[in-house]
A and B are shown apart, each in its own frame.
Chain A
């Protein structure tokens, strides 16, 4: 069974950093791209970016809204994807989801809530 579990969310002050983890199981992690989305309260989902599988270069692409502040990485040996978030702003408050794959995002985690507030 494919499982994705996000962790690392919480309350953080504006300007600080946070790293989210997406622990996975039930599939060969190294074969798949991984994506991150978020959903602000009362809003629709927003794509943040994705990281290609290592055989395809392991490079990442980002939404313009987060490109200079967020970094997606992966550890194939641990089957974990990461989202490093720097210089957090109040508008980054949202539930953050990781997904398997880039376009056919069938599998989602349960999400982790990030609240940016002083």
Chain B
């Protein structure tokens, strides 16, 4: 199975901050990486696929990059509605696996 490691596991930030979350795969997954946002009591929300392709309707302050084993999710200017937990997920091969999550909360 492909292991996905996210860092940091949590971070504190303020509105307007630039936030970067890293996801590393245990082997190359090319660009088969999704990013999700999840708020308490809600299902995960699909943000990015193909490592860098923004799902329709997702604000442009979100961006993704990377290929192979190292990936990044960046929020260019954190907004109040962005405080949530973020997960990466590889879709290169089954079983599809998730990172451990990064909780973004108020500084």
On A, residues with C-beta under 8 Å from B are 44-47, 61, 63-64, 97, 102-106, 108-111
On B, residues with C-beta under 8 Å from A are: 1, 32, 34, 36, 38, 43-44, 46, 49, 55, 87, 89, 91, 94-101
Q: Given A103-B49, A106-B46, does the pair A47, B98 have CB atoms closer than 8 Å?
A: yes
Q: How many A-B residue pairs have CB under 8 A?
A: 43
Q: Interface of chain A, helix or strand or loop or mixed?
A: loop
Do the beta carbons of B43 and A44 come within 8 Å of each other?
no
* A45-B46 CB under 8 A given contacts A103-B32, A103-B91, A106-B55: no
Q: Given A47, A103, A110, which contacts B97 in the complex, CB threshold below 8 Å?
A: A47
Q: Which residue of A lies closest to B42 (CB)?
A: A110
Neighbouring A residues of B95 by C-beta, 8 Å: 47, 63-64
Kindly list chain A residues whose C-beta atoms are within 8 Å of the C-beta of B34: 103-105
* With A45-B87, A103-B32, A103-B49 as contacts: A108 and B44 at CB distance below 8 Å: yes
**Residue with the greatest number of chain A CB neighbours at <10 A, chosen from B46, B95, B97:** B95
Q: List 7 A-B contacts (CB under 8 A).
A: A44-B87, A44-B98, A46-B98, A47-B94, A47-B95, A64-B95, A109-B43
Which residue of A is nearest B57, CB measured? Answer: A106
B43→A108 contact, CB < 8 A: yes
Flag if A61 contacts B87 (CB, 8 Å).
Answer: no
Closest to A4 in B: B43
Q: Chain B nearest CB: distance from A108 CB in Å?
A: 4
Complex CA gap A60/B38 in Å reads: 27
Residue from B43, B44, B91, B94 whose CB has the most chain A CB atoms within 10 Å: B43
Q: Given the complex of chains A and B, what is the CA–CA distance between A63 and B94 in angstroms?
A: 8
Extra contacts, 10 of them, besides A44-B101, A47-B95, A47-B96 (Cβ < 8 A), are: A45-B36, A47-B89, A47-B97, A64-B1, A97-B43, A103-B32, A103-B49, A103-B91, A106-B46, A108-B44
How far, in angstroms, from A110 to B95 measured CA to CA in the complex? 23
Residue A105 contacts which of B32, B46, B97, B99 (CB distance < 8 angstroms)? B46
